[in-house]
Amino acid sequence: MGASEENSALFPIFVFTIMALPLVPYTIVKILNTFSKKAMTIHCQCSVCSRSGKYRKSIFKRISNFSTCSNLTLVLLWIVMAVLIYYIKHTSHEVKVFEPFSILGLEHGASDSDIKKAYRRLSIQYHPDKNPDPEAHDYFVEYISRAYQALTDPISRENFEKYGHPDGRQGLQMGIALPPFLLNIDGASGGILLLGIVGVCILLPLVLAVIYLSRSAKYTGNYVMHQTLSAYYYFMKPSLAPSKVLGVFIKAAEFMEIPVRRSDGEPLQKLFMLVRSELNLDLKNIRQEQAKFWKQHPALVKAELLIQAQLTRESKALTPALLRDFRRMLELSPRLLEELVKMALLPRTAQGHGWLRPAIGVVELSQNIIQAVPLSARKVAGGSSEGVAPFLQLPHFSEAIVKKIARKKVRTFQELRDMTLEDRVELLAQVAGLSFTETKDVEMVLEMMPSLTVDITCETEGEEGIQEGDIVTMHVWITLKRGSGLVAALPHAPYYPFFKEENFWLLLADPVSNDVWISQKVSFMDEAVAITAASKAIQELKEVSGASLKETNAAVREAVERVKSGSRLVMGKFQAPGEGNYNLTAFCLCDSWIGCDKKTNLKIKILKRSRAGTRTGALSEEGAGMEEGIEEEEQEEEDEYDDYESEYSEDEEDEKDSKRNGVVPAAGAAAAAESSDNE
């Protein structure tokens, strides 16, 4: 009976231990992640962002952000842990050491007569003949009799003095941390107990494992469905125009799983009328175009209309049910757009190159979704030579204001940014008609916008000049500056209802052939990770080149200082193509801001192979094979800018001409127009 009670007391401790092993470290990691996220949430302070409520720290907002399934489950588990602690504290019994004098109520060294008197007194109180209580009988046998025997019997007393127990040396006792009913398997309860053990220990984990594997098999490591990647791979084309990327993006399987309810019909019809001008419908055959649009799969229709609601800022017209679907789509969008960029950059040619034109289109779609700016705003219209899209991301700006400032010779977004503070305030107040508060909001956003510089070199391993077949290392420093002096910050995005970090894509590409030679994602949010990566890369590069320890440490310190000042190091390798001169362009594209992209021209001369063999080792710092190095051709960028933006307005005409002539426009020419500067 005593052993059973002891085992029962151990069971809560066993459960507590099993729960604490995974729960405590998981909670610590979750708390650390929460604090790290809070440290990075330096966001825009303009009135538009404040009114959006995205950064509002109200009690309701905090509760809604906290009330996720994982957080509620975590709280529930900790409540169970607290209950177990309370139960263990109030029910556990300490192991008592056998003390015969204490049991008989005597002091150590009592005489034999005192021992006999105490025994008689306790016998009258606990002896079975005097007290019929079973507990009294157990206490008399287990404690009083043994204590008396230990003090009066010579052998028992000798054992007690040597081993602390009248029965002699005691063996190690072990208990099973299970409740008593699990140990009593006799009778009819044995079969039920066996079924319970099989169900809890075998069937339940097996069912959970099957459910987990069946669900995880649908997703990749980036939590994107395999079916989505297959669809993106199939529909991705090398000449895919930015205005056509949306049609590929909405074919994600995640969007197809969002239910299309009967009650969605009328609200979607109203939404269609609000965003119809953005759907690229042929106005001459509008009825046929509308009928064709509604004949698509209902999930596709719903997905496109909800994305257009974001681009046109018409989400207020949505019903509560559609608003939930709308928020779900926007929450998934950054992840899906990143996978869509990777799908465009996937090696498709014999040289292992990706496609430039669709990659730029996906990044631009990401910019428009985050800033809630229509794709049509990128068309060349009004007084702006680059479209009004960059202006519309500023608070209180509209197309009418853009036309007003265009009359004052401010036709590009970069011209507005380059103005002095006094001139810009005067322009916004007197010409645009903005109030002092509105002008202040614009200045806040302009100070948050990043300005990029790209310093790029290409070199081989200790050879002067690059020969065909050489392994070339690209070495790029990307530097980010803001008017506010910050490096890591969240973009101004009041119409995007979730936190969105800035990400940049570096693409070394040949715009004429539409080939991307090297691509890499760059982030300025985590300085510690960037310092570690840059230090390791510089150290390996110096060690391979044979530099001394002093030179290596100096180079590492310099790289660390550059990272702390707002730079990021990007390195990559590619195999030199055949002999010839190559006019490459390094694109640095932001997925959150419009008009902040940067491109740098790079001319590389590939020589005919004169050295035997092909080198594959590490690269040294000696000599690069660039004919003229990196050239910042600002005038050439401005000349190409109109062609770049004109593709939005020419898409429909090109499509009509191709339909009449039965010819698809050449991808090379389109890609050349696509690659022009976005600044």
| 323 lies in the same domain as 352 | yes
Q: Which 3 state secondary structure label does DSSP give 499?
A: coil
Q: Give whole-number Cα distances, 398 to 50, 390, 401, 405, in Å.
A: 20, 11, 5, 11
* Mean pLDDT, the chain, whole residue set: 79
Task: Please state which of the ranges 30-34, 100-104, 122-126, 168-172 shows the lowest mean pLDDT.
Answer: 168-172
**656: confidence class by pLDDT, cuts 50, 70, 90:** very low
Tell me the pLDDT tens digit for each residue of 242-267.
778 999 999 999 999 999 999 999 99
| 264 lies in the same domain as 127 | no
Question: Which of 449-458, 636-645, 664-673 has maximum average pLDDT?
Answer: 449-458
Tell me the pLDDT tens digit for each residue of 566-612.
999 999 999 999 899 999 999 999 999 999 999 999 999 999 988 76
Q: Which region, left, alpha or beta, applies to residue 623 given φ > 0 means left and ψ of -120 to 50 means alpha?
A: left
- Could you tell me which residues are beta bridge partners of residue 504? 522, 590
| 294 lies in the same domain as 238 | yes
- Could you tell me which residues are beta bridge partners of residue 478? 454, 568
Indicate if the pLDDT at residue 58 is higher than 60: no
**650: confidence class by pLDDT, cuts 50, 70, 90:** very low
Measured between alpha carbons, how far is 5 from 11 in angstroms, rounded to an integer?
10
Indicate if the pLDDT at residue 29 is higher than 50: yes
Over residues 340-359, mean pLDDT: 92
Task: Please state which of the ranges 113-122, 278-287, 434-443, 657-666 shows the lowest mean pLDDT.
Answer: 657-666
Residue 217 counted as domain residue:
no
Residue 356 counted as domain residue:
yes
Contacts of 621 (CB under 8 A, 6+ apart): 459, 541, 545
Let me know: does 629 contact 600? Beta carbons within 8 Å: no
Task: List the one residue out of 184, 180, 171 whose CA is nearest residue 3.
Answer: 180
Tell me whether residue 399 is exposed, middle or buried, using C-beta atoms within 10 angstroms of its C-beta: 0 to 12, 13 to 18, 19 or more: middle
Structure tokens at 36: 């790290």
Higher pLDDT, 351 or 70: 351
Q: Which 3 state secondary structure label does DSSP give 582?
A: strand
Higher pLDDT, 567 or 174: 567
Last residue of one domain, picked from the residues 54, 74, 91:
91
Indicate if the pLDDT at residue 104 is higher than 50: yes
**115: confidence class by pLDDT, cuts 50, 70, 90:** confident
Q: Which region, left, alpha or beta, applies to residue 446 given φ > 0 means left and ψ of -120 to 50 means alpha?
A: alpha
CB hemisphere CA count around 311 (13 angstroms) = 27
Residue 564 counted as domain residue:
yes
Structure tokens at 417: 């940014």
**170: confidence class by pLDDT, cuts 50, 70, 90:** low
Contacts of 242 (CB under 8 A, 6+ apart): 360, 361, 364, 365, 375, 378, 647, 648, 674
Indicate if the pLDDT at residue 146 is higher than 90: no
Measured between alpha carbons, how far is 493 from 369 in angstroms, rounded to an integer?
9
Q: Which region, left, alpha or beta, applies to residue 98 given φ > 0 means left and ψ of -120 to 50 means alpha?
A: beta
Q: What's the structural domain count of the chain?
A: 4
| 370 lies in the same domain as 475 | no
Indicate if the pLDDT at residue 338 is higher than 70: yes
| 77 lies in the same domain as 111 | no
The enclosing domain of 280 has a CATH number of: 1.10.3380.10
Let me know: does 428 contact 419? Beta carbons within 8 Å: no
Tell me the pLDDT tens digit for each residue of 371-421.
999 999 988 755 455 689 999 999 999 989 998 998 888 888 999 999 999
Last residue of one domain, picked from the residues 91, 122, 143:
91
Predicted pLDDT of residue 561:
94
Predicted pLDDT of residue 40:
47
The enclosing domain of 482 has a CATH number of: 2.60.40.150
| 38 lies in the same domain as 116 | no
Higher pLDDT, 117 or 299: 299
Indicate if the pLDDT at residue 227 is higher than 80: yes
Predicted pLDDT of residue 196:
66
Task: List the one residue out of 360, 380, 361, 374 whose CA is nearest residue 242.
Answer: 361
| 460 lies in the same domain as 601 | yes
Measured between alpha carbons, how far is 318 from 326 in angstroms, rounded to an integer?
9
Measured between alpha carbons, how far is 414 from 399 in angstroms, rounded to an integer?
17
For every residue of 504-556, DSSP letters joined together read EEEEEEETTTTEEEEEEEE-SS-HHHHHHHHHHHHHHHHHHHT--HHHHHHHH
Let me know: does 605 contact 581? Beta carbons within 8 Å: yes
**617: confidence class by pLDDT, cuts 50, 70, 90:** very low
Predicted pLDDT of residue 679:
37
Beta-carbon neighbour count of residue 498 at 10 Å?
12
Tell me the pLDDT tens digit for each residue of 418-450.
999 999 999 999 999 999 999 999 999 999 999
DSSP code at position 225: B
| 460 lies in the same domain as 598 | yes
Residue 597 belongs to domain spanning? 450-606
Residue 464 sits at φ, ψ, to 5 deg, of -85, 120
Measured between alpha carbons, how far is 222 from 220 in angstroms, rounded to an integer?
5
Question: Which of 160-174, 178-192, 235-249 has maximum average pLDDT?
Answer: 235-249
Tell me the pLDDT tens digit for each residue of 307-320.
999 999 999 989 99
Predicted pLDDT of residue 39:
44
Residue 358 counted as domain residue:
yes
Structure tokens at 368: 């428009």
Identify residue 560 by its one-letter amino acid code.
V
Beta-carbon neighbour count of residue 558 at 10 Å?
12
Residue 218 counted as domain residue:
no
Measured between alpha carbons, how far is 403 from 398 in angstroms, rounded to an integer?
9
Residue 461 sits at φ, ψ, to 5 deg, of -85, 85
| 338 lies in the same domain as 239 | yes
Task: List the one residue out of 502, 626, 491 whose CA is nearest residue 568.
Answer: 502
Residue 649 counted as domain residue:
no
647-671: burial string, b at 16+ Cβ within 10 Å, e else: bbebbeeebeeeeeeeeeeebeebb
The enclosing domain of 148 has a CATH number of: 1.10.287.110
Let me know: does 77 contact 19? Beta carbons within 8 Å: yes
Tell me the pLDDT tens digit for each residue of 464-504.
888 988 899 999 999 999 988 888 888 999 999 988 889 99
Predicted pLDDT of residue 518:
93
Predicted pLDDT of residue 371:
95
| 57 lies in the same domain as 113 | no
Predicted pLDDT of residue 210:
80
Secondary structure of the chain: what % helix, strand, coil (to 5)?
Answer: 55, 10, 30
Predicted TM-score (pTM) of the model is 0.70
| 366 lies in the same domain as 275 | yes
Predicted pLDDT of residue 386:
65
Q: Give whole-number Cα distances, 1 to 4, 5, 146, 618, in Å.
A: 5, 6, 18, 74
Residue 588 counted as domain residue:
yes
Higher pLDDT, 669 or 531: 531
Predicted pLDDT of residue 259:
92
Structure tokens at 431: 């010409």
Over residues 211-221, mean pLDDT: 75
Residue 668 counted as domain residue:
no
Last residue of one domain, picked from the residues 308, 340, 375:
375
| 348 lies in the same domain as 491 | no
